[in-house]
Amino acid sequence: MRILVIEDNDNDVALVRRLLADGPAQSAELVPVRSLKDAVARLANGDIEVVLLDLSLPDSYGLETFIRLQAHAANLPIVVLTGTDEEGQLALEAIRKGAQDYLEKDRVDRWALRRALRYAVERKRIELALQAAKQELQRQVDNTAWLNRIMMEQGEELRQSKEEVQELRARLAEEPPRGTHPLGAPREGPDRGTSSRTERVQSGNDPR
């Protein structure tokens, strides 16, 4: 586990190192920095797994320290280190804003430190998983709403098409078929070939 320790007091860094020196946390690797600026630069490497943060730094103080750090480490678990009662109250505010836990420097022991780090990593993992599931659910809801809207639009188009077909059928039913009189009987007319031949016979001009 690679731990970024943001602390300007060398004695406090040494305390953390000593508490993690043996036992199950032997694989812990501390990466100490002394300022928020250095911390942000180190986070850019992308290999930090958890952060121990002192709220009182040379370039930042109090709750603002946590807020500024969180802007660069939104996906990392942060455990706040406190040294005074005032900082304890600020640590509680930091937890309300997303910190995973806080530890009092003068009361912490190896078991409390290890447990806080382990739980912080696990809680953050669950938190990110829940966020991802929520985003996926929202995406599915949005897709469903989009499909419903498309289906409603297509249903409206189909309804209009059916109305147009029904209107066309009604108009066709009112019109008489071509080649018939209004009552539907075939139209009568003289046989022009027969009439002409009859006229020629009567006049004596029929060649037959």
Look at the block and give the residue holding tokens 């600026």.
Answer: 37
Look at the block and give the residue holding tokens 């990110």.
Answer: 128
Element at 140 (helix H, strand E) = helix 110-174
**Could you give the maximum distance between any two Cα atoms of the chain, in Å?**
145
Domain 2-127's class? alpha beta
Query: Given this model, what pLDDT does residue 25 score?
Result: 46
Query: Given this model, what pLDDT does residue 150 score?
Result: 76
Per-10-residue mean pLDDT, the chain, length 208 = 95 92 71 97 95 95 95 95 82 93 90 93 90 79 75 76 76 67 52 54 53
Domain boundaries, the chain: 2-127
